[in-house]
Amino acid sequence: MISDRKMNRRQFMTQSGLATAAYATSSNLAFGADDPDSTPWQIGCFNRPWGKWSYDEALEEIQSAGFTTTGLVGRHQKEPEDLLSADTSPDYLDALRDRIAQRDLKPIIAWIYGPKAKEQKDAVSELKKLTDNAARLGLEFLLSGGPRRNETVEYYSSVIGEVTAYAADKGVKIAMKPHGGDGAEIIRCIELVNHPNFSIWYDAGNIVYYTGGDPVKELENIASQVTGFCAKDCAGKESPVMIQFGTGKANFAEVFQVLKNANFKGPVMIECTGEPESPQDATRMAVENRDFLKKVFSNLK
Question: Pick from 101, 187, 189, 104: which is nearest to 144 by CA?
Answer: 189
pLDDT, position 180: 85
Per the CB < 8 A criterion, the answer to whether 175 and 203 are in contact is: no
DSSP assignment of 84-136 = S-TT--HHHHHHHHHHHHTTT-EEEEEE-------SHHHHHHHHHHHHHHHHH
State how far the alpha carbon of 246 is from the alpha carbons of 38, 137, 254, in Å.
Answer: 20, 34, 12
Report yes or no: 206 and 177 within 8 Å, Cβ to Cβ. yes
- Eight-class DSSP state of 251: -
Give kind and range of the element (H or E) at residue 45: strand 43-46
In the chain, what's the furthest Cα-to-Cα distance?
Answer: 56
Position 213 scores a pLDDT of 94
Residue 38: its H or E element: none
Q: Where are the domains of the chain?
A: 39-298
Tens-place pLDDT, residues 64-82 = 999 999 999 999 999 999 8
The whole-angstrom separation of Cα 292 and Cα 284 is 12
The predicted structure's pLDDT at residue 39: 60
Alpha helices in the chain (DSSP H): 9-21, 24-30, 55-64, 90-101, 120-137, 153-169, 183-193, 204-211, 215-219, 252-261, 279-298
Q: Can you give the pLDDT at residue 7? A: 47
Strand partners, 174: 142, 198
In whole angstroms, give the CA distance from residue 46 to residue 19: 27
For 192-222, what is the HEC assignment?
A: HHCCCCEEEEECHHHHHHHHCCCHHHHHCCC
- For the chain, residues with pLDDT lower than 50 are 1-37
For the domain made up of 39-298, the CATH class stated in words is alpha beta
> What is the pLDDT at residue 31?
37
Residues present in the chain in total: 301
